[in-house]
Amino acid sequence: MIIYFALVLQKNPSFPETVSDWAEQSILNLSEMHKINISVNKAKIQKPQKSQKKR
């Protein structure tokens, strides 16, 4: 859905080309950051947990 929004902005003639390019790049960057964040969160979840029996 995010990428679709970026493509709509790019083809909209009411926006100057630089604004469309900036908006598309900005949205794609956010999408990439989201993918990286999901990967990091998955890695954190999959870490083996230390035994808590030792005190």
User: Is the pLDDT reported for residue 54 higher than 80?
Assistant: no
This prediction's pTM: 0.40
* 3-state SS, residue 53: coil
pLDDT per residue as tens digits for the range 4-35: 444 444 555 666 668 778 888 888 888 888 88
| In contact, 27 and 2? CB cutoff 8 Å | yes
Q: How many CA atoms lie within 13 A of 7 on its CB side?
A: 4
Span 26-50, average pLDDT: 78
Say which residue, 23 or 1, is predicted with more confidence. 23
Q: Which pLDDT score, from 0 to 100, does residue 49 have?
A: 64
CB atoms within 10 A of CB 16: 9
Q: Which pLDDT score, from 0 to 100, does residue 2 have?
A: 45
